[in-house]
Amino acid sequence: MNRNVITITPDKSLLHAKELMRLKRISGIPVVVDNGKLVGIVSIEDIIKALENGYIKDKIEKRMTKDPVVLKLGETLEKIVDKFEKYGFGRFPVVDEDFNLVGIVTKHDILRALLEKLATIHLHDMRKKEILESEVLPDIADRSLLTGEHLNKTKADFIFKIDYNDITLIGVGAAKLKKFLLDRGIPQDIVRRISIATYEAEANVVLHSESDGYIYCFLKDGSIVVRVEDFGKGIENIEIAMKEGYSTAPDEIRDLGFGAGMGLPNMKRFSDKMMIISEKGKGTIVEMNFFLKEESGK
pLDDT for the residue 252:
46
Range of the domain at 31: 14-106
The number of domains in the chain is 2
Residues 171-196 have a mean pLDDT of 92
Residue type, 131: I
Q: Are residues 174 and 38 in the same domain?
A: no
Q: Are residues 33 and 94 in the same domain?
A: yes
Q: Are residues 141 and 263 in the same domain?
A: yes
pLDDT for the residue 58:
95
Among 86, 106, 126, the domain boundary falls at: 106
- Identify the band that residue 240 occupies on the pLDDT scale cut at 50, 70 and 90: low
User: Is the per-residue pLDDT at 67 higher than 70?
Assistant: yes
Q: Are residues 94 and 223 in the same domain?
A: no
Q: Are residues 91 and 150 in the same domain?
A: no
pLDDT for the residue 139:
58
Among 106, 127, 147, the domain boundary falls at: 106
Domain membership of residue 237 (yes or no) is: yes
- Identify the band that residue 115 occupies on the pLDDT scale cut at 50, 70 and 90: very low
pLDDT in tens, 137-181: 445 677 888 777 888 899 999 999 998 877 777 888 999 999 999
Domain membership of residue 277 (yes or no) is: yes
Domain of 224, CATH number, reads: 3.30.565.10
Q: Are residues 140 and 194 in the same domain?
A: yes
Q: Which residues pair with 194 in a beta bridge?
A: none
Signed CA dihedral, 25, 27, 31, 32: sign only: negative
Return the percentage of the chain with pLDDT > 90, whole number. Answer: 36
Question: Are 172 and 53 in contact, with CB atoms under 8 Å apart?
Answer: no
Domain membership of residue 3 (yes or no) is: no
Domain membership of residue 128 (yes or no) is: no
Domain of 41, CATH number, reads: 3.10.580.10
User: Is the per-residue pLDDT at 276 higher than 90?
Assistant: no
Residues 244-257 have a mean pLDDT of 48
Residues 120-144 have a mean pLDDT of 52
Domain membership of residue 112 (yes or no) is: no
Residues 122-142 have a mean pLDDT of 50
Q: Are residues 166 and 240 in the same domain?
A: yes
pLDDT for the residue 200:
87
Domain membership of residue 19 (yes or no) is: yes
Residue 249 neighbours by CB distance under 10 Å: 18
Q: Which helix (H) or strand (E) holds 30?
A: strand 28-32
pLDDT for the residue 250:
47
Domain membership of residue 124 (yes or no) is: no
Which residues, at least 6 apart from 29, have a Cβ–Cβ distance to it below 8 Å? 6, 7, 8, 17, 20, 21, 41, 42, 43
User: Is the per-residue pLDDT at 295 higher than 50?
Assistant: no
pTM confidence score: 0.51
Question: Are 157 and 164 in contact, with CB atoms under 8 Å apart?
Answer: no
* Gap between the Cα atoms of 4 and 69, Å rounded: 19
Question: Are 180 and 217 in contact, with CB atoms under 8 Å apart?
Answer: yes
Q: Are residues 159 and 223 in the same domain?
A: yes
Question: Are 198 and 266 in contact, with CB atoms under 8 Å apart?
Answer: no
User: Is the per-residue pLDDT at 297 higher than 50?
Assistant: no
pLDDT for the residue 262:
61
Q: Are residues 178 and 252 in the same domain?
A: yes
Q: Are residues 195 and 257 in the same domain?
A: yes
> Can you spell out the DSSP letters for 98-166?
T-BEEEEEEHHHHHHHHHHHTTSS-TTSHHHHHHHH-SS---GGGB-TTT--B--GGG-SEEEEE-TT-
Q: Are residues 58 and 147 in the same domain?
A: no
Higher pLDDT, 166 or 272: 272
- Among 280, 287, 160, residue whose Cα is nearest residue 223: 287
Domain membership of residue 229 (yes or no) is: yes
Q: Are residues 149 and 254 in the same domain?
A: yes
